[in-house]
Structure 1
């Protein structure tokens, strides 16, 4: 009983080929195992790469010499007893001479070719139960086939990738389509002009194009160039199919934008593998493009929300600023005024942080007094330091230090570091802040009791890393790092004697 891996149908009549293929597939044979070609040359090319296990051919192959055609084909098969069913095209079946009557692997079939007659003939020839009407095996196979066919049909054309095969030879289209039809939606065009019209119509959502090179009027190279010249079709992957295997020909195809090159005669396994690979890559590319579009839309939405939030917060804060001028205690009024301005600036900085993340922030440095910024940051946490009885010790603040930076970004850095240090410090302890000038940079150091947990040290400056999961969201040190780096500075920390933590920020001196 021959294994039905590769059934080859050879007949110049397209309708006959298609009808036979449908009958065989309906019996339970996979579409991938059925190939249809229209002449002897195409059949020999197919057999070189896909050893034929069953041959169905017309009696007018090779100038009516079926036996000669069979002998040529058997050179590429494992067995010289290739099961062969010959379709007698003449009305008089007796006019056909049965080649080698002792050969039991031969069978002739004359017109009219009826479905039941064909199936019984295939069973007689192959003894394969898949073609046996009289056993339960055929019922089971047919049932399984119907289930598989139903599952295939439930997958709508819009869900299947669409492959366009472009070739002026019908037999080449049949071979390619026969190998792909059970997996993809296959369309065909017999000229470059037809292919361009199909793609330009934008009705079929072409996923990939298999393109022959040697075609009359408009060759494959010209078709590929025309596809790549239009925005609507430029991203459709093109695989060239051609017997031309010279390096220059292949290179020219890639230069025009093709993604692959398959030489003829086509090998079904290779064709399916390469088509699957490039369709998968195309689908991944499209998915990535959709994700990028979504990210851009989300980024725009985030920026819009940030702007709305800033606008909504500024109104009540401006009212506070206006009312501070009514206070009799001018010292308190100035402190409130400065604090509210800092809040407004911090709101503005949320958008700045986003721009820094995206690499679109424009850094405009200016000479800035760092002493004043640190003093403002200390005042912002005065209530917490008072509650915990924490002392802030200043070193080097007797000298005014000027940095070349942006005040708002620096204020955010110092606010984050000092606030984190106060929250992490045990009660009744001292936090030391030190300023010094070192080789063109101003160095700020903050030392506090308490150490950063070992499990988060390596990722401390990464997003959403926090040692305080009750009050922190893990953006403080992350934003401090980004804002320091965008100002051409650096930030780091060290653990001292496993008892204290020291943060160091270096910024360019003015």
Structure 2
């Protein structure tokens, strides 16, 4: 009975094709394991008593028969038939390679198969070697070579499965855990804590989860877990303790060390598979999330780079305007243009500041600032629009100089947005009131205009991309105003007065 067949060949194509032949003869899929190197073969042999070895002649530097004997001893197999897949041309039969491909070795139940590898020849060799009836009556009219394109069934056999490391000093416990998981995962084994750490440190096998026994000699499971979590390379590998120790303090201690789960012995197969599946899935999601974070960080850097390029490209023509204003004979107009252009340059700079505020990485540098000057600049910025709509600004509290502790550029952006929105929302020939007042340790700015915010928008007004007029804005005005106010330790709010007027209130720290 062929319960554990091990195929060892560096060529995935060869491994898959031989597995396909075995499946077509009726061999149970769960009985077939495909491995690409000698070290993995030795680790697999620790898990099960091998019943058939199919091995390439170049898989190890030692004699293939010696390698077979080594695996037989590891897996405690009393008899291990060996089919050698030779990657060398048989010189003695080079004239008739299509007919003579099998050469029986005189020692230890071994057969060597030479290329070209035909399906029927492989089956004949397997029957000669094992005398299993499933190979006796197999016939195949089409003697396709192993290089034929693979079927989905064969490819599925060798899909990359998550690798699980079982660590236990008792072979019977390893057999139970591996037997419940082998059909779903690639299972490796270590019979000591030291061996387990070597496998993980090797970084060759991409261990996705570790099932760890606690009661082991020399180095117990708790010590192994501590070592794993202390190493950056293995700290994120989920560890599930498997132990007969069921006291609450034992379980709690396991979790304190960083284990993700604790399963008590004797093992229940359904429970083991369910717990392992859950943590493998969580680990895969964690890996995917980490990849997304890297992508987001790269996108953030790209956005910052684009912002800087945009700022540079916009500043050039604006600086030309600033230079030309000195040629104007009307010095008052030149001064007004100069201030307006400087404000535009500063607002371009603020676009990157807004992104940093969103990300929580903005460094605030407040200074004593005249609120009166900022408001006058913001009103002048919309003078053309307010003139076209015949809107007058009624100022209150401006006879007193109000100083705030804030960043002038951020504040100018806040008031530019709010005042521009008020002018756009106000009906023609209606006054807009701007009032400044000092209260306690804050200075208050109140902006009142006719026209109201639609009821449907009031609850989301300060959210991103909320706008009552998408033909003229993209909904970032009130959103950015709130962010820039809050980062300066201020407050912003609005009131609807008699369903006729809208009033915005901004409070900033007084200087």
**TM-score w.r.t. length of structure 1:** 0.70
The whole-number CA distance in structure 2 between the counterparts of 1:432 and 1:459 is: 24
The match for 1:463 is 464
Q: 2:159 pairs with 142, 156, 161, which one?
A: 156
**Are 1:219 and 2:220 an aligned pair?**
yes
The match for 1:509 is 510
Offset of 1:199 from its aligned partner?
1.5
| 1:257-272 equivalence runs, <5 A | 257-272=258-273
The match for 2:385 is 384
Shift in alpha-carbon separation, 1:28–1:419, aligned structure 2, 3 A: farther
Secondary structure of the corresponding residue to residue 218 of structure 1: coil
The whole-number CA distance in structure 2 between the counterparts of 1:272 and 1:416 is: 59
Offset of 1:344 from its aligned partner?
1.1
The match for 2:4 is 18
**Are 1:330 and 2:355 an aligned pair?**
no
The whole-number CA distance in structure 2 between the counterparts of 1:495 and 1:230 is: 60
Shift in alpha-carbon separation, 1:148–1:322, aligned structure 2, 3 A: closer
Contact kept, 8 Å, 1:465 with 1:474, in 2: the verdict is: yes
| 1:286-365 equivalence runs, <5 A | 286-365=287-366
**Are 1:281 and 2:282 an aligned pair?**
yes
**Are 1:204 and 2:205 an aligned pair?**
yes
The whole-number CA distance in structure 2 between the counterparts of 1:439 and 1:169 is: 75
Contact kept, 8 Å, 1:37 with 1:175, in 2: the verdict is: no
Secondary structure of the corresponding residue to residue 4 of structure 2: helix
Offset of 1:187 from its aligned partner?
1.8
Shift in alpha-carbon separation, 1:397–1:174, aligned structure 2, 3 A: same
Contact kept, 8 Å, 1:240 with 1:260, in 2: the verdict is: yes
Contact kept, 8 Å, 1:242 with 1:262, in 2: the verdict is: yes
Secondary structure of the corresponding residue to residue 394 of structure 1: strand
The match for 2:177 is 176
The match for 1:236 is 237
Offset of 1:367 from its aligned partner?
1.7
User: Per-residue displacement from partner, 1:208-259 (whole Å, max 9, x unpaired)?
Assistant: 0111223334332232222222111111011111222233433332232221
Offset of 1:17 from its aligned partner?
5.5
The whole-number CA distance in structure 2 between the counterparts of 1:251 and 1:361 is: 41
Shift in alpha-carbon separation, 1:256–1:267, aligned structure 2, 3 A: same
The match for 1:393 is 394
User: Per-residue displacement from partner, 1:32-78 (whole Å, max 9, x unpaired)?
Assistant: 9xxx999xxxxxxxxxxxxxxxxxxxxxxxxxxxxxxxxxxxxxxxx
User: Per-residue displacement from partner, 1:359-388 (whole Å, max 9, x unpaired)?
Assistant: 222222222111111111111111111222
The whole-number CA distance in structure 1 between the counterparts of 2:451 and 2:483 is: 25
Offset of 1:27 from its aligned partner?
7.1
Secondary structure of the corresponding residue to residue 400 of structure 1: coil
Secondary structure of the corresponding residue to residue 209 of structure 1: strand
The whole-number CA distance in structure 1 between the counterparts of 2:357 and 2:176 is: 56
The whole-number CA distance in structure 2 between the counterparts of 1:498 and 1:182 is: 69
Contact kept, 8 Å, 2:209 with 2:239, in 1: the verdict is: yes
Comparing 412-421 and 390-399, the one that deviates more: 390-399
Contact kept, 8 Å, 1:395 with 1:433, in 2: the verdict is: yes
| 1:84-99 equivalence runs, <5 A | none
The whole-number CA distance in structure 1 between the counterparts of 2:501 and 2:253 is: 67
Offset of 1:487 from its aligned partner?
1.6
Secondary structure of the corresponding residue to residue 435 of structure 1: strand
The match for 1:436 is 437
The whole-number CA distance in structure 2 between the counterparts of 1:337 and 1:284 is: 54
The whole-number CA distance in structure 1 between the counterparts of 2:503 and 2:253 is: 62
User: Per-residue displacement from partner, 1:460-495 (whole Å, max 9, x unpaired)?
Assistant: 001111111112111100111111111221111111
Which blocks of at least 5 consecutive residues in structure 2 are unaligned? 6-18, 32-46, 50-128, 135-150
Offset of 1:113 from its aligned partner?
9.7
The match for 2:405 is 404
Comparing 259-268 and 222-231, the one that deviates more: 222-231
The match for 1:415 is 416
**Are 1:249 and 2:257 an aligned pair?**
no
Shift in alpha-carbon separation, 1:469–1:355, aligned structure 2, 3 A: same
The whole-number CA distance in structure 2 between the counterparts of 1:249 and 1:37 is: 31
RMSD value over aligned CA atoms? Answer: 3.0
**TM-score w.r.t. length of structure 2:** 0.70
The match for 1:45 is none
The whole-number CA distance in structure 2 between the counterparts of 1:17 and 1:221 is: 35
The match for 1:193 is 194
Contact kept, 8 Å, 1:213 with 1:221, in 2: the verdict is: yes
Offset of 1:275 from its aligned partner?
0.6
User: Per-residue displacement from partner, 1:374-418 (whole Å, max 9, x unpaired)?
Assistant: 111111111111222222222222222222211111111110001
Contact kept, 8 Å, 2:4 with 2:48, in 1: the verdict is: no
Which blocks of at least 5 consecutive residues in structure 1 are unaligned? 1-14, 39-111, 118-146
Secondary structure of the corresponding residue to residue 303 of structure 1: helix
Contact kept, 8 Å, 1:325 with 1:333, in 2: the verdict is: yes
Secondary structure of the corresponding residue to residue 443 of structure 1: strand
Contact kept, 8 Å, 1:31 with 1:178, in 2: the verdict is: no
